[in-house]
Every structure is written in structure tokens, then in C-alpha cells.
Chain A
Amino acid sequence: MPTELKGANELRKALKKFAPELAKETNVELVGFLKPIVKKARGYLPSNDEMPSGFVKHEVKTAKFPMYDATEARRGIGYKLTPTKPNRQGWSSTVSIHNKTAGGAIFETAGRKSGVSGRFSPKMAGSFAGSGKLVGRAMFKAYDEDQGKAKAAIIKAIEKAAIKFARGK
């Protein structure tokens, strides 16, 4: 569940316009909290050898089902410090981490709803971690293991930046 920080987007915008140095400083600080999670999440992604051969990226594409490529999938996990577009419920993420590639997302969530059964999901290396909707094998797992420390630090960093900005420092 994301934490709502009212005016965070506006603050970031204001920082960028009127206090670029402070904005950079804040960004560096935020990156410092996010990078470990991202690294950890990337680390949970298995290599191509560990994946079912049909799922791994190959030359002849037989079906429309997405394929997995460890390099691409690792590249697909990252962080974002700019506000996203509001979702259908009206929420915009100010700071977020993402798992963008289809292969990576399948590894993350396969078997989450229907259970780890059948001929595909049991072959996925790794285990689920997390709670609610944030259950997964890589990014969600890394986030879960962080136990909200990064989130708290990020909120604190933003608040600190707001105070500094308000004081004109």
C-alpha cells in the first residue's frame, strides 16, 4: 500500500525549478535508498538456464506467449523518481520501482493466483514473498524483505527537502 504524501509531486516540481541543487541532492538521496532494492530484485531473477527452455528467448518464435531473457528482464527492473500518470483509481506514484518486461513480470507473478501447479509455474526458480497484491518472486520479494525501511527513508528525505526548501536553503 503506497503512502500518500500530499503535494509531493508539486514539491519535486518546485525543487527542480527553484532549487535545482536541492533537487539533485534529494534525488541522490532517494536513489541511495532505491538502488539496493533494485539490485536485490535483479538478483532474484534466474538465468536463462534455470528457466523452462520454451520460455527462454529463442530464434524461432512459435507462439505469442512472451519469452524470457535474463538480461532484458534485469534491465526491466528499475526505479522512477518522477510522478507516473494517475491510474484508474486516481493515484500517481511519486517514487516507485518497476518490473517492466513481460518475461520478468511472468517470472514475478506466475502461479500467484492459480497456485504453483501445472507444467509451467512449478518450474520457476525462486519463491514468493510479500503480502496482498505485492506478492512476487523478484521485485516484490526484495521490497518485502526491505520491510519498509526504504519507504520510510524516502518519506523522510522528501520531508527534509520540503523543510529545506521552505527555509530557502
Chain B
Amino acid sequence: MSNLLVSLVAQFKGQKAFNQAESATDKLSKKVNKLAKTLGLALGGAAIVKFAKDSIKAFAAEEKSIAMLSNALDNLGMGKQATQIYSYIEALQMATGVADDDLRPAFQKLATAGLNAADAQSVLALALNVSAGSGKDLDTVSSALAKAVGGNTGALSKLGVGLSKSELKTMSLNDIMLKLSATYKNSAAKAAETFSGKMAKLSVAIGTAKESIGKGLIDGLMLATGATDIADLQTKIINLGTTLASVFVATGNLIHDNWSLIKQLGIALIATFTAAKVYAGVAALISIINKLKAAYVALRTVSFAAAVATAAAINPVAAIAAAGVLVATIIAGNIALDKFNKSKAEAEKPFKVPDFTGLTGVDYGDAKRLEGLKIAAAKAQMKAAKEALKQKQLNKIFDLNYIQLYAALQGKLTDEEKNRVELQLALLDENVNAADYLSKKLAVSQGQTSMLSQFLRTLPDAKNPFESWGDYLKAIELEAKRIGALSFGTAAPSSVGGGGAASDAGKVTTNTPKVTDPYAGKSAYEIYGPSGGLGAGVIAGVNVKVFMDGKEMTSLITDAQVNDTLSGTFSDINRVAAKGSVGIR
């Protein structure tokens, strides 16, 4: 789809793209490194398997090559010399670094061309020299020589070994051989002395070892599987593959069938990790994984190889299967470990709050999301705190300390005692604020008590209100004694006052101070009468005698009557007691 565009305002996003590319490259390189590690490990196992395979292959090729040569020698009537020929080829191989797999076919060609065993060996040696000198491969040179033995020198001319067609036509086979020998004398030996020759020798040695190991492995496999021949072994190996495949399928099915259960287990595990247990859980996980990691490392370095080697020695087939399982397990474990380590490393990084100030380069979507995350985190924290509090409250029910303290609070306590109990509760609750407040309160209360005690101690003694009573009583006693000690005269008037002359009226008269006891010699009954001196309805009192003249009396009566009349009450006047006494009612 075409889209012509005129961009009026644009923004360069290349940097971001580069960053993304950089990040992607980093990730890729990390992944490649990881892959390399994994592959390194896997290849460790795979290399063993490959070596085993190569060994078996080398042994098979060797066996085939020997069988072909052996058959050819038998057909050519050189069967009896076969052992000697094999030894020669082995020696030649070790001396020149040319593999017996190449030497045998070359020898076979020369022998088939009509040369006897000794000639064939000589020509083979010549072929090796020509090959090393001309740079042509042994197979080509030996074929050309074999053809020359048969009379066809065309191939030799094509080899470019210094023999023209005319020379080849005129020269006999012997001359040709002599010339070639002269031309390429010691070429093979010289070539064998070079670095590449030495490497070739080494390679030959390894190849030989491989063949031997391959023979051993096949023998071992046959013994282990009870195979009678290679065909039987082949069938058994195919069966093993089928069995393993079905095992893998069964494992996959097991996981698939129990997937919901596995998920539930995961959910249960997550649920178990409540806020209070998260740290402990994570710590435990780290500990377990570290142990696993150490085990893996050990397994990587020593145990794995040792286990495979041991298993290979005992039972090669089982060893291959075991190696496969081990490799798979370790790879999976390593991937999990790498992921965990990465997550852990990410988690350990300090959280960097993005800078949302300014207008450029800000992703506001992230700000909102971050805000959302913060709120969610705060909510989760609050929830966790509530859960913990709830749990603590539940624990309190069965806590003897709490029970005792709450029981104590139910009783009658002074303020200070109550403070003490509440402080203990606050300490048990780990409520720092409350504990602080109550401890201060208690300290103040204690301070006040001690101050009061101090005050009371320093108070002066209270005065005894009866302290002076003793003196007072003594003074009374003395006074009484003094009064008792007083003496009075015998003559005394019989009465005080009484009626007197009219001239004395209205005046209180006192006689001489002669005091006589009027009741002397009389009993109390006689003095005070049957009522103790008081008649019924008589006001006890002092008899007062008032002396007044008639006028005053008259005016008083008149006033009284007038008042009574005005007030409307009845009044009478009667004479009471003795003469001169008037009672008004």
C-alpha cells in the first residue's frame, strides 16, 4: 500500500530504536552465552555419545575394509600371506600416517592388477611416495600404477609425475617404476616427518583407538542386550528407542492429566506464603536452590562424567539412556536456576523512581501504572498488617499472661495499679506508643505518691486537744479546795427581800451579808417537794418579787385590758400567790 506523506512535525525515535536494538543484542548475547553454557554441558554428554557412535562407525568401516581385502587375497591365492600383509599395512600406516582404510584398498588394487604380495607391497610403498611427492591422493596414484601394471600407462601420464606419453610408451614397467622411485624417493618418509605428517600419524592412532573402542562398545552392547549378532542388536536398539519414546509420551501425559492439580498446588503454595512468612519462605527457597546449585556444579564437573563413565563400563545401553536423562535434567535445572538468579538479581536492584518532571521524554502511562502499583502495594501492606493483628488477637485468647492481666483489670484497682497492668498489656502488645504513655503516667503517679509521703513525713506533729486539760482540771481542783477551805458566819437572815415598808417599794434591798442556810437540817424532799421542787405546769424558775405602787399597777392593767380588747381576746386579772402579786393571762 502506497502512502505518500508530508511530515510537518516529526520526532526522531532512532535513539529508542537503537536502544531497543542494543537491548535486544544484549539479550541475544546473554541468551547465546547461556545457550553456549547449556550446549557446552549438553555437548559434554553429546560428545561422549558422538565418540561412541564414531568409534562404532570406525570399527564397522575397518571390519568391512578387512573383509574386502581378505576376500580379495583369498581369491588371488594370497590368503596364507594375509596376516603378513595386514602387519605390513599396519606398520606402513604407523610410519607414514596414512590410514589403513586407504592402504588396504590401494593394496587390494595392486594385488588385483596381478602383482604378488611382495611386489604389491613394494609398489604400494612407491605409490605412497608418489602420492606424498605429487600431492595426489593415494587412491588415484595406486589406481594409475595398477593400470600401468596392466599395460595402460595413460593414467600415469595424466598424473603429471614427470613421465611423458612418449617415455611411457618406450619404457618398460620396471623402468617406469625405477624412474618413479628415483623421482619420489623418501617422499612419504619426509612427509611423515612434517607437522601435518605427525598430525596424520596422531590421527591414525586415534582412529585405531576408535576402532578398538568401537569394537569394545559393540561387544559390550551385544553382551548387555544379549544380542547374538549385529542385526539382532540393531533390532534391540530400535526397540529401546520406541520404549523411550513411549516413556516420554507417558511422562507428558502424566503432566497434562495432572495439570490442574499442579496448578492448585502452586496456588496453595502461594496462599501459604502470607505476609509474615514471605521472608522465611524466600530464605528457605534460596537456601534450597543454593544447595541444588552446588549439587549441579559438582555434577557438572565430576559426578556427571564419572557417572556416565561408570555406567558405560557396566552397561553401555543404560549409560546412554542415563546420560540423556541426566543431560535433560541438568539443562532444565540450569535454565530454572538462571531464571531464578536473574529474578533475584533484578529484585535486589534498588528501585529507581522515574523522574516525571518536565515534558520531554516522559511516559505518562508508566506514571499512572506506577501510581496504581504503589496503591496496590500499600493496600497489600495494610491487609497484611490487619491479618497479623487479627492473628495476634486470636493468640491473645489463649495467652495466660493476657488472661491474668485482663482478670486483674476487672478487679478494684487504684489508678496506679491500673496503670501498671495497662503498661504490662501494652508491653505484651508491643504497642510502643501506649507503653510510652503509660510508663510516663506511672512515673508521674509514683512521683506524686512519693511527694505526698515526703510531705507527710515532714509535717509537724498535730497538737493534742486534750493536752491542757490536765492543768485545767488541776486548777479546778485547787479552786474547789480553795472554796472548800472558806469559812462563813453563823447568823443569817431567813429570807432575802420580802415585803417591806411602802417607802421601800420598787427597790431591791439587800440585807447584811449574813448568810444562813434556810435548808439546813431539811431533807431534799422537804426542800423541793414530791416533784423535786417543781409542780406540774409550774415553770421552774426564780421567784421574783416586784414591788410597785398602785398607780403603776393601775396603768399597766388598763393598758393590758385595752390591748386585749383591741385584739379581741379575753383577759382577766386574778390574784395569784401572795398579796401584791398580779398575774395576767
Chain A residues engaging chain B, CB cutoff 8 angstroms: 2-11, 13-14, 17-18, 34, 83-84, 86, 89-102, 104-106, 108-109, 134, 136, 139-140, 143, 150-151, 154-155, 158, 162, 165-166
**Closest B residue, CB atoms, query A166:** B359
Chain B residue, CB-CB nearest to A16? B364
Pair A91/B2 contact, Cβ less than 8 Å: no
In the bound complex, do residue A3 and residue B6 qualify as a contact, i.e. CB atoms below 8 Å apart? no
A94-B9 CB under 8 A given contacts A13-B364, A14-B359, A136-B4: yes
User: Which B residues are closer than 8 A to A by beta carbons?
Assistant: 1-18, 359-365, 368
The residue of chain A having its C-beta at the shortest distance from the C-beta of B18 within the complex is A90
The CA-CA distance from A102 to B2 in the complex, in Å, is 6
Taking the closest CB of chain B, its distance from the CB of A16, in whole angstroms, is 9
Inter-subunit contact B363/A10 (CB<8 Å): yes
Taking CB atoms, residues of chain A closer than 8 Å to B12 are 4, 6, 90-92
CB-based nearest B residue for A93: B7
The answer to whether A139 and B6 touch across the interface, beta carbons within 8 angstroms, is: yes
- Give every chain A residue within 8 A of B10 (Cβ-Cβ): 2-5, 91-94, 96
Residues of B within 8 A of A98 (CB): 3-6
| In the complex, residue of chain B having the shortest beta-carbon distance to the beta carbon of A3 | B9
Q: Which residue of B lies closest to A102 (CB)?
A: B2
Contact assessment for B15 and A90 in the assembled complex, using a CB-CB cutoff below 8 Å: yes
Closest 7 CB pairs of A and B: A90-B14, A7-B360, A93-B7, A2-B10, A2-B7, A86-B13, A105-B2
Q: Are A6 and B11 in contact (CB under 8 A)?
A: yes
Q: Is the CB of B1 within 8 A of A102?
A: yes
CB distance from A78 to the nearest CB of B (A): 11
The residue that B362 contacts in the complex, of A10, A139, A143, with Cβ under 8 A, is A10
- Report the Cα distance A73→B7, complex, angstroms: 19
Q: Is the CB of B8 within 8 A of A151?
A: yes
Q: How far, in angstroms, from A83 to B7 measured CA to CA in the complex?
A: 10
Shortest CB distance A77–B (Å): 9
Residues of B within 8 A of A91 (CB): 7, 10-14
When A11-B359, A17-B364 are in contact, do A83 and B11 touch as well, CB less than 8 Å? Answer: yes
B356 to chain A, nearest CB (A): 10
Contact between B8 and A99 (Cβ–Cβ < 8 Å)? no
A13 CA to B368 CA in the complex, in Å? 13
Q: A90-B13, A165-B359 are in contact. Are A3 and B8 (CB under 8 A)?
A: yes
Verify B6–A96 contact, CB threshold 8 A: yes
Which of B6, B11, B16 has the most CB atoms of chain A within a 10 A radius of its CB? B6
- Nearest residue (CB) in A for B356 is A14
In the complex, which residues of chain A have a beta carbon less than 8 angstroms from the beta carbon of B3? 98-100, 105
Chain B's closest residue to A86 (CB) is B13
Further 16 A-B residue pairs, CB within 8 A, beyond A7-B359, A86-B16:
A2-B8, A2-B10, A5-B11, A8-B9, A9-B11, A10-B359, A89-B14, A90-B13, A90-B14, A93-B7, A99-B3, A105-B3, A139-B6, A140-B6, A154-B9, A166-B359
